[in-house]
Amino acid sequence: MGLLTPTESVSHCPYKGNAEYWSLRDGGLEIAWSYRTPLPESQKIAGLLSFDPDRVGVYVDGVKQG
């Protein structure tokens, strides 16, 4: 999280609630989003980050994801 900074962008999903966006500290592209306080039916995703695979390399157990 030390490499990320919150942006002012917000979007809304009718199933999850309001998403907040994050960019690299240098103010570059927004590369991630999270739901700090998701709707009740989506509480399991609270505080997790999702990364845009078109903007970052995503690796799981050392394997780059498609």
Q: Which domains does the chain have, with CATH numbers?
A: 4-53 (2.170.150.40)
Residue 45's pLDDT is what?
97
* Residue of 65 and 9 predicted with greater confidence: 9
Residue 41's pLDDT is what?
95
pLDDT tens-digit series, residues 5-64 = 999 999 999 999 999 999 988 768 899 999 999 999 999 999 899 999 888 888 899 998
Instruction: Count the Cβ atoms, other than its own, within 10 Å of residue 45.
Output: 15
Concatenate the DSSP letters of all residues of 11-31 into one string.
EEETTTEEEEEEEETTS--EE
